[in-house]
Structure 1
């Protein structure tokens, strides 16, 4: 069997704030089940599921601690379509108060922008056809 990336799990501090961000980004996230586990999952057309959860890491990994500072070691890349969509998503998110790390820029690779989600994760918005689920 070929190894497949099936899920990206983000341990978030505030589930509602994260759901608002990813909805504003353009994902059709469901609401968390009231009184249920603090988790929201969304399966994308590419087959990868984005899972937002609170309390999992701290419950099952006694050495876990939330990262501090403004650095990041990973980025989640979201293919949003054309350059104009990168621009509009960037503007919408920054205007809504989210931290912009890199305005829309023609990099040595794709046209892209970086914004932070509520937990400081770097979100790369791109028009790179190589990131399209159809590629």
Structure 2
């Protein structure tokens, strides 16, 4: 809590099957994980311009919540990364899919005024890449 007593948003946490694979993916998106994070069961990385991204291995979650199971049948959440330009959306999508990550939705000009694409992280979480279209405010 801050000095006003109001709770403040702290982080986004993901349960991951392979911490090293997830650290590698999110580092490509600029998340600052410390050296050696690949070998840890719980890691925290600074997201440029935002809160922390916290990754916990499935085993770590089961260590304090034995009945936990990964969701099945799709995800109800996604992370989004704002890019500097529509061209960066295209380039980053190409880099990630070229590195073997699954591209769910190729870059396109969304009707709400953004260049938009979706790629999956190593655990199948949707990660949106977006940038305002240059001809829109």
TM-score (norm 2): 0.81
Say what the alpha-carbon RMSD is for the aligned residues: 2.2
Q: CA deviation at 1:78?
A: 0.9
Which stretches of structure 1, 4 residues or more, deviate above 4 A after TM superposition? none
1:15 aligned partner: 19
Residue 99 of structure 1 pairs with residue 102 of structure 2: yes
1:124 aligned partner: 128
Gaps of at least 5 residues in structure 2 are: none
1:50 to 53, 67, 78: 53
Q: Helix, strand or coil for the counterpart of 2:9?
A: coil
Q: CA deviation at 1:32?
A: 3.4
Equivalenced residues, count? 127
Residue 59 of structure 1 pairs with residue 74 of structure 2: no
- Which runs of structure 2 are paired with 1:14-93 in the superposition (5 Å)? 14-32=18-36, 37-54=40-57, 55-69=59-73, 71-93=74-96
Q: How far apart are the structure 1 equivalents of 2:38 and 2:128?
A: 31
2:115 to 111, 116, 124: 111
Gaps of at least 5 residues in structure 1 are: 130-135
Q: How far apart are the structure 2 equivalents of 1:77 and 1:43?
A: 14
TM-score (norm 1): 0.82
Q: CA deviation at 1:128?
A: 4.1
